[in-house]
Structure 1
Amino acid sequence: MATEKWTPAPLPDLSGRTVVVTGASSGLGAVTARELARAGARVVLAVRNPGKGQSVADGIAGKTEVRALDLGNLASVQAFADSWSGPLDILINNAGIMGVPQGRTADGFELQFGTNHLGHFALTNLLLPHITDRIVTLSSGLSFMGRIHLDDLNWQNRPYKPMRAYAQSKLANLLFTVELQRRLGEAGSSVRALNAHPGVATTPLDQHLRGLTGAFTRFSYRFYAQKKAEYGALPILYAATQDVPGGSYIGPSGRDGERPRIEKRSARDTDATMARRLWDRSEELTRVYFA
């Protein structure tokens, strides 16, 4: 059920809490970092371009820190995790790329799957011993287009389709959270794993859509670019700060997305067997395992 109109103004006091926001150098990540810092949190902007991240941090009133993190390079993910000390209250897996031309990460993974899913999979598991409260991983309403091809996750045997590859990575984000929450519960941990999606929002994520062809893509882009990042960030902030059950999926509702709500997950999003199989395959690919 949707909440009443909600803004970041009533965020709880986050003084003394530490948050990592990946991809916080622009768009949803920058807004999320700004609002969490305004509420008193120490916010670490984990970004591929530290100079760009510092420019964002300089405009934020509050405690911030910028650290280098390239989710398309597992050595960078490992270095980020190895440098971490002390508790981490909230990890927000926000960074992502969308609809990019076919490419490979430093480790040879398809660029969108490697960055959006495998990079965050590795980061979360490596940081998990430090996490005290919750992990929020972003997905997308376009996940409904996704199919998990366990035998061809990196698009080596299929004709590459940018938006289908993106959708696969976003479905993987949902299944990752399902299995992570199951494992956390089984281990008796109080840490919660959640998903959020922004609905449609104007962010730099859409830069590659303009060059894509096809009626569906043009239709999607026209509606995708209607709302500001401030509205798109509301479900993320809600998931990061409100008392919602582990495994919840927070999305927008209302004309401008001003009423975050718990979304109903589809059968595909909650396929426990596929979630476990994807987890096992992700461990094989990254060589990073559940703590």
Structure 2
Amino acid sequence: MRSIFGSDGWTKSSMPDQSGQTVVLTGANSGLGYEATKAFAEKGAHVVMACRSVERGESARDSIREQFPAASLSVRELDLADLESVRSFAESFVEEYDSLDMLCNNAGVMAVPRQETEDGFEMQFGVNHLGHFALTGHLLDVLESTSGQPRVVTHSSGVHERGKIEFDDLHWEDSYDKWSAYAQSKLANVLFAYELDRRLRTADVDVLSTACHPGYAATNLQKRGPEMAGSRLRLAAMKVANAVLAQSAEAGALPMLYAATHEEITGGEYVGPGGFANMRGTPEIQNSSERSRDEETAERLWAVSEELTGVEYSG
């Protein structure tokens, strides 16, 4: 029987050596992204830290190097709320690098007051899904040309189970509920990960795509919504919940690291913590929601995403 702590006690020390691997990780300067960057660097990978704020990215890089002086890290500006920034990041990456072993679509926003991206998308759908959809499309050629079965790992959330893709009002212009919008964006993450994997298999491309979720991990992500809304009560409640219920950011990063490096990953999986209510514990392969497996919805979302971003995937 599986223990309440997870499947097999897998931790970052279980990761294989990553020497010679190149990783692009969005949102690498804080929370789960920071912990994953640190783990990759400790194992010898070169990590391109794709951050909205270069200043915060460089501060995070310096902090990691204090622990691991030999860490191979590069900070690049990437604002997922701006498709021009996404395109510029990808172009600069392929100019400097000729291989990409892992793309970790990690950055995101959660339950923020309604606002729009530079391109007029609802912020959560725009950043969490469309920005990563465009980034992956721009980097697909370099992924395809990399030997050794590269991986795309897209970070979702258990909240995706509450999500529904509102095709008639994707950007919540008629009415806005911050948690429903967040759930939609996280469902979109899983639909995208699965559809990408199906398309890669059909095209006989040796790149794997998988999804993961961190359970309930204490990061700054939970604080941003209450801070932006100016709600001291919600912020205080969130801090209490984090202290009582959440696992650490280091533990929350494990499903992403597992999905990116574990040998049993073959594409199309959903990885999350295997402990209490799938909110904490060591990672395992799990089942995502029924809606996330709806191939018709996934194909429709893909077509809409290509139209909105102007990024068309070859093949």
Identity %: 48
Structure 2, unaligned runs of 5 or more: none
What is the 5 A alignment of 1:226-241?
A: 226-241=246-261
Shift in Å at residue 277 of structure 1?
0.2
Counterparts of 1:53 and 1:140, CA distance in 2: 24
> For residue 191 of structure 1, what is the aligned residue in structure 2?
207
> For residue 273 of structure 2, what is the aligned residue in structure 1?
252
Is the CA contact (8 Å cut-off) linking 2:223 and 2:238 kept in structure 1? no
Q: Once superposed, what is the RMSD of the aligned Cα atoms? A: 2.1
Is the CA contact (8 Å cut-off) linking 1:113 and 1:168 kept in structure 2? yes
Shift in Å at residue 10 of structure 1?
2.3
- Go from structure 1 to structure 2 and tell me whether the alpha carbon gap of 1:70 and 1:3 turns closer, same or farther (over 3 Å shift): same
Is the CA contact (8 Å cut-off) linking 1:44 and 1:64 kept in structure 2? yes
Is the CA contact (8 Å cut-off) linking 1:3 and 1:261 kept in structure 2? yes
Equivalent of residue 164 in structure 1, options 164, 176, 180: 180
Stretches (4+) displaced over 6 A: 212-215, 218-221
Structure 1, unaligned runs of 5 or more: none
SS across alignment from 1:136: strand
Shift in Å at residue 87 of structure 1?
0.5
- Go from structure 1 to structure 2 and tell me whether the alpha carbon gap of 1:58 and 1:213 turns closer, same or farther (over 3 Å shift): closer
> Are 1:89 and 2:101 counterparts?
yes
> For residue 284 of structure 2, what is the aligned residue in structure 1?
261
SS across alignment from 1:198: coil
Is the CA contact (8 Å cut-off) linking 1:77 and 1:122 kept in structure 2? yes
> For residue 25 of structure 1, what is the aligned residue in structure 2?
29
> For residue 147 of structure 1, what is the aligned residue in structure 2?
164
Alpha-carbon displacement from aligned partner over 1:72-95 (angstroms, at most 9, x marks no partner) = 000000001111221110000000
Alpha-carbon displacement from aligned partner over 1:37-95 (angstroms, at most 9, x marks no partner) = 11000001000000100111112221000000000000000001111221110000000
Counterparts of 1:213 and 1:63, CA distance in 2: 39
SS across alignment from 1:59: helix
Is the CA contact (8 Å cut-off) linking 1:209 and 1:221 kept in structure 2? no
> For residue 302 of structure 2, what is the aligned residue in structure 1?
279
Alpha-carbon displacement from aligned partner over 1:213-248 (angstroms, at most 9, x marks no partner) = 999xx7998369621101100101100100212000
Counterparts of 1:176 and 1:151, CA distance in 2: 19
SS across alignment from 1:84: helix
Is the CA contact (8 Å cut-off) linking 2:159 and 2:183 kept in structure 1? yes
In proportion to residue count, which structure has more helix? 2
Is the CA contact (8 Å cut-off) linking 2:251 and 2:282 kept in structure 1? no
> Are 1:126 and 2:126 counterparts?
no
SS across alignment from 1:122: helix
Deviates further, 106-115 or 199-208: 199-208
Shift in Å at residue 151 of structure 1?
2.1
Counterparts of 2:233 and 2:309, CA distance in 1: 34
Q: What is the letter of the counterpart of residue 274 of structure 1?
A: T
Counterparts of 2:86 and 2:245, CA distance in 1: 31
Q: What is the letter of the counterpart of residue 273 of structure 1?
A: E
Is the CA contact (8 Å cut-off) linking 1:234 and 1:258 kept in structure 2? no
> For residue 11 of structure 2, what is the aligned residue in structure 1?
7
> For residue 128 of structure 2, what is the aligned residue in structure 1?
116
> For residue 107 of structure 1, what is the aligned residue in structure 2?
119
What is the 5 A alignment of 1:13-52?
A: 13-52=17-56
SS across alignment from 1:165: helix
Is the CA contact (8 Å cut-off) linking 1:6 and 1:258 kept in structure 2? no
Normalising to structure 1: TM-score of the pair?
Answer: 0.94
